[in-house]
Chains A and B, each alone.
Chain A
């Protein structure tokens, strides 16, 4: 019953390059959020995009949402070594497709930014 799926599972880039991660989901949603997790630590919220929005920016982050394709992308521009982390998308499914899960995370993308 997993709702979100990130792709790729792992991504390795050089410092200064851009990193793009994608998220696909299965059902209608109220909103989609992206989180970051440094190894084994708590998740940190990055950005929230509502179902009626198409694009949102926050600093070096750009998120797009295409509800017709049930997909979202997270772009990190001018990446830094400190961006090395796992990135998760999370969705808030709308009823009646809510399988009892109020909030659903994908398996994540592991990003490595090499100095």
Chain B
């Protein structure tokens, strides 16, 4: 089944404790992206990747890192999480930029 998977789905952590949210797609898509969704603000793009080893900042990249060493994986790293990073995070992939995006189920992160 074609899908985008994210892990973990739920995470509660403390300020400053490094964490990684994994994202994987099995559709051989070139384009992958991370978004955060906050009430009243819609989805905001954090980082995106046009292809392996090619990443770029989105609208709200501060406090986040990404890497794209393989086509299928695009992990989101929070090296020192803070409470303002409490949010619902979505990973998405697309055959190429500008095409329809396939979204993962979301990761609800709480930083205390």
Contact = CB atoms under 8 A, between A and B. Distances in A.
Q: Tell me if chain B binds chain A.
A: yes
Interface of A: 1-2, 30-31, 33, 35, 40-45, 48, 88, 90, 92, 99-108
Contacts of A92: 97-98
A33 B59 CA distance: 18
Contact of A102 (B41, B43, B88, B97): B97
B94 to A, nearest CB: 9
Contacts of A102: 33, 45, 48, 56, 58, 97
Contact of B88 (A40, A104, A108): A40
A68 to B, nearest CB: 21
Interface string B27-61: 00000010100001111110010000000111100
B104 interface: yes
A48 B101 CA distance: 10
Interface of B: 4, 33, 35, 40-45, 48, 56-59, 88, 90, 92, 97-106, 108
Interface centre among A1, A35, A42, A90 (most CB of B within 10 A): A42
Contacts of B48: 102-103
Contacts of A31: 98
Contact of A108 (B42, B45, B98, B104): B42
B41 A107 contact: yes
A45 B42 contact: no
A40 B17 CA distance: 25
A20 B104 CA distance: 27
